[in-house]
Amino acid sequence: MKVEIVNLKKHFGVTRAVDDVSFAFSSGQIVGFVGPNGAGKTTTMRILATLDEPTAGDALIDGVSAVEEPERARQLVGYVPDSLPTHRDMSVHEYLDFFARAYGLKGVRREKVVEGVEEFTGLTEIHNKMLVALSKGMKQRVSLARALLHDPQVLIMDEPAAGLDPRARIELRELLRALSSQGKAILISSHILTELSEICHAAVIIERGNVLMAGEIADLLTDGARRRTVLIRALEGRETLYRELLETPRILKVNFAGEEVVAEIDGDDQACCDLLATLVRRGHRVVEFKQQRANLEEIFMNVTKGATQ
Amino acid sequence: MTAESILKESGARGGLGDRINPIVVKELRQAVQSRFVIATLLTLLSVQIVAIGIYVLASGASLFRFDAGRQSFLMLFAILQSIGMIFTPLYTGARLAAERSDTNVDLLFITTIKPRSIIAGKMFAAMTLTALIYSACMPFMTFTYFLRGIDLPSIFISLGVGFVVVIACVQVAVFVALIPVNRALKVIFGLVALIVFGVAYFVTMFGVNDLIGRGFVARFSWQLAVSLGAITVFLIGLFFVMSVALIMPVSSNRALPVRLFITAAWLLTGVAALTGSLIEEDYRLLIVWLVTFEIIFALALFASVSERDRPGRRVLRSIPRSLLGRARTFFFFSGAANGLAWASLMIALTLAAAVACVGPFLVYRNADDLIDGAKWMGGMCLYFFCYSMTGALLRRHMFTRVGTELTWLIGAMLLIVGSLAPFLTGYIMVFKDQWWSEDLGAWWVGNPFAWGNKGHRVLYTSVGGVWAVLVAAMSLPWFIERLRSFRPTSRVTASDDIESVPRAMASESPSATD
């Protein structure tokens, strides 16, 4: 199963919400879709979920076009929007049963599917509770359960972690990991980047409707960071080291951190190597030279400008 | 197990419960758990008990008059109808508007359920709820039979009429709830709908009173009942297809069901009106048909220019490849040019049909009125065409930042200005103190509703004609371009240079993106 976003464009009048976006991902991958508000994430996701039509381009799910064949594409996609279920006078079970009916599930099979999904998402205990009485975390689970009813191969989740407490987030993370291990391709947008880097295999960073960066999280963290932060511990001469570092080209910032000196280098791994060689050449007795890996948040701040459409 | 295999396996085992529209199941589940519904039902029953009790106790000797049953029935019917015509549309409309305002409806779109089923489900649930209310009140209604002055068929037929009117109101409420405007405008539309319901309430009460008074065997009563019934059914159908169109995704062929329904209704009612006119030797039915459909098509002009300028890809992919197929579907598919072509054609056909009916061998009563009506409606449609096309031209060339869906608003503002500005100019600049004694007809030029003034029709026609030719000529390149681009599109395929997200190292299954 492969999901391909092909030269996708969506214009609202003169506003280019999505402007020639292309990327692909496949079964078992959890892909983080990251960008500032108004970057075009939700629009892209809605097109993939067959809810909107692109101005140009297409979204292909296992070769099925979300634009040309939305009916077939819908069988393959589960969509969790950024809003939570709000139906009044309806219990969790009734809500899921309703959507199971809407997906055409019938009889005993429908009951089994609903029960199975309730069990998987941990809703069995509360399935008779009214929807309006649920917490945000529980509503999010209901929303996820609804999207899983027809056993889709692709799951699109728009800000599922927004407003959840730490426990609910951890539980959601576990659910996503379980779904990924079942071979589902998951596209998830979130502003909580630390969380994304923990659960996602890959990420796509988007701004002003354009993909700025896409790749595996590990690669993004190494290749994507324009700056490196290194912790240096010398056997002696901490202050000298500090002063010399300040005078060294491409060193942006130097701080003390206990026994260590923390330096921010404007460059890649090669620049780190060069710095270490320079320090050794100058006679510093370096005991420890450790590169601090950038996190997704730093990458995001580096590559985006916070601009919206 | 995939959804597909689940569907295949479960298909044969589905019981009655599985065949019911899921929306009906959901709505009724919600209704039986709703305090609002229960409270309304109990209140209605209480009011009915108290009303009939007070009536019986207060009537004294007059209870033995022969119209006591009729009077008490009308009183109970008035209570039932007022609750039915307010509560059920309000309940259904408010719920739908709330669902429409968030993503609940969107979520339904990605299931296998069709927009038509969503509206049908809402309507069927509302009908069930109304039937519940009516059946709960039935004992009080039938009790009036024992007070004399009314027979059981009259009671049941009246209740049937009331039921249909409530359903019509629910359908209008559903339509209003789906109009894609902000909450404030929706409340205004809702209040307008309530005023319409109020008018419908008094018409229903008057009609039922008249029917009970005359008796259902009277020929006039049947004619009236059939005519009103046909109009009600047409309106329910029209609002149904319009509601379906409103709830359909913007990218879909929204106009198709509406245009097909109106065209079919136009044809059927036209044949029926002609047949009725031939039998009665009177053109009144044809006049009603002419006026009704010309108004509908005139409004359709405004709706058409507000449609998407270019049909979406989902519409384009369903265009037939053959020239004949394209020509046939052009008039019915979504798109501003398509809508304009359809509405203009239907206006011309309606006028032609009305004029053709007044031939040398078919000169019946009201023939002059039919010809006059055709001129009046033709003139009105001419001006509607000019205003809508001018609005579309302005939006395309001057107000490029205004969305296509608001073109009707530009046209409507032009219509208001064009209707009033010449008269106000004349009033301020030219008229003397005794303005009411002067002939002002010429100053109403530009007003589509002033064509009743026969003395100035040549002026109105000249101005409208020149304007229509000008605006049509200016829009011709646009129209030809849309006509040429009305052909199926080729499919987008994945290119090799897609910026791919590589597979995670941990994952074992191979990927084409590597």
- Coil, strand, or helix at residue A236? coil
User: A103 vs B314: CB contact, 8 Å cut-off?
Assistant: no
Q: Do B511 and A26 touch (CB under 8 A)?
A: yes
- Contact at 8 Å (CB) between B266 and B293? yes
Q: Provide mean pLDDT across the span B40-49.
A: 88
Helices then strands (H, E): number in chain B?
A: 18, 0
Mean pLDDT score, B392-403: 87
The shortest C-alpha distance from A78 to chain B (Å) reads: 8
Question: B101: distance to nearest CA of chain A, Å?
Answer: 11
Whether A67 sits inside 8 A of B106 (CB atoms) is no
- What residue type is B338 in one-letter code? N
Is A202 in Cβ contact with B511 (below 8 Å)? no
The two three-digit tokens of residue B485, written as one number: 């681009």
Measured distance between the N- and C-terminal CA atoms of chain A, rounded to whole angstroms: 32
**Minimum-distance CB partner of B504 among A29, A58, A102:** A29
Residues sharing a CB contact under 8 Å with residue B37, sequence separation 6 or more, in sequence order: B31, B91, B129
Interface touch A25/B513, C-beta < 8 Å? yes
Q: What is the DSSP string of A262-303?
A: EEEEES-HHHHHHHHHHHHHTT--EEEEEEEPP-HHHHHHHH
Disruptive mutation site among A98, A155, A187, A219 for chain B (greatest number of B CBs within 10 Å): A98
Which long-range contacts does B402-405 make (Cβ < 8 Å, 24+ apart)? B403/A13, B404/B306, B404/B307, B404/B308, B404/B309, B404/B336, B405/B180, B405/B306
Q: How far is A56 from chain B (nearest CA, A)?
A: 9
- CB within 8 Å: B10 and A102: no
Full set of structural domains in chain A with CATH: 2-222 (3.40.50.300), 226-293 (3.30.70.100)
Question: Are A161 and A169 within 8 A, CB to CB?
Answer: yes
Which residues from B are below 8 Å from A68, CB to CB? 313-314, 317, 491-492
pLDDT tens digits for range B16-34: 677 888 889 888 888 888 8
Which of B32, B405, B407, B501 would you mutate first to test chain A, the one with the most A CBs within 10 A? B501
Q: How many Å apart are CA B20 and CA A307, to the nearest integer?
A: 49
Tell me whether residues A2 and B512 touch, CB distance under 8 A. yes
Tokens encoding A282: 């100058």
Tens-digit pLDDT profile for residues B52-64:
888 878 877 666 6
Alpha-carbon torsion (B260, B114, B253, B175), positive or negative: positive
Count of CB pairs separated by less than 8 Å, A with B: 197
Q: Which helix (H) or strand (E) holds A252?
A: strand A251-257
Q: Tell me: pLDDT of B490 over 70.
A: no
For residue B460, what is the enclosing H or E element? Answer: helix B457-484
Pairing state of beta strands A154-158 and A251-257?
unpaired
Task: Identify the closest residue of chain A to B104 by CA–CA distance.
Answer: A85
What is the per-residue pLDDT for B360?
Answer: 60
B112/A57 Cβ within 8 A: no
Token duo for residue B146: 């024992």
Q: Which of A85, A103, A107 sits opposite B14 (nearest CB)?
A: A107
Query: Quick check: A271 and A176 in contact, CB under 8 A?
Result: no
Interface pTM, i.e. ipTM: 0.72
pLDDT in tens, B324-362: 888 889 999 999 999 999 999 999 999 999 888 877 656
Q: Which pLDDT score, from 0 to 100, does residue B456 have?
A: 84
Instruction: Return the residue of B nearest to A90 by Cα.
Output: B30
pLDDT of residue B219 exceeding 60: no
Q: Residue B308: closest CA among chain A residues belongs to which residue?
A: A13
The confidence score (pLDDT) of residue B410 equals 92
Number of residues written out for chain A: 309
Question: What pTM, to 2 d.p., does this model score?
Answer: 0.77
pLDDT by residue (tens digit) across B421-436?
A: 888 888 777 776 666 6
What is the nearest CA distance from B436 to chain A, expressed in angstroms?
49
Distinct helix (H) and strand (E) counts, chain A: 11, 14
User: Which residues of A fall within a CB distance of 8 Å from B512?
Assistant: 2, 24, 26
Tell me whether residues A101 and B112 touch, CB distance under 8 A: no
Nearest-by-Cβ selection for B2 from A146, A151, A214: A151
* B2 contacts in chain A (CB < 8 Å): 151
Residues in A closer than 8 angstroms to B313, CB to CB, are 53-54, 67-68
Give the minimum alpha-carbon distance from A228 to chain B in angstroms, rounded to a whole number: 24
Q: If you measure CA to CA, which chain A residue comes closest to B250?
A: A52
Quick one: pLDDT at residue B2? 45
Using CA atoms, how far apart are residues A188 and A216, in angstroms rounded to an integer? 14
Mean pLDDT within A91-99: 92
Rounded to whole angstroms, the Cα distance separating A225 from A299 reads 6
Using CB atoms, pick whichever of B113, B497, B506 lies closest to residue A102: B113
CA A273 to chain centre: 32
pLDDT above 90 covers what percent of chain A? 25
Q: Which residues on B lie below 8 Å from A110 (Cβ)? A: 10, 18
Three-state secondary-structure class, residue A156: strand
Q: Looking at residue B218, what is its pLDDT?
A: 60
DSSP secondary structure code for residue A223 in this structure: I
Q: Determine the distance from the C-alpha atom of residue B255 to the mean position of all C-alpha atoms in its chain, rounded to a whole number.
A: 13
Residue B505 has pLDDT above 50, yes or no: no
pLDDT digits (tens, 9 = 90+) for B196-208: 999 999 988 988 8
A152 to A139, B51, B98, B423: CA distances (angstroms): 20, 57, 28, 64
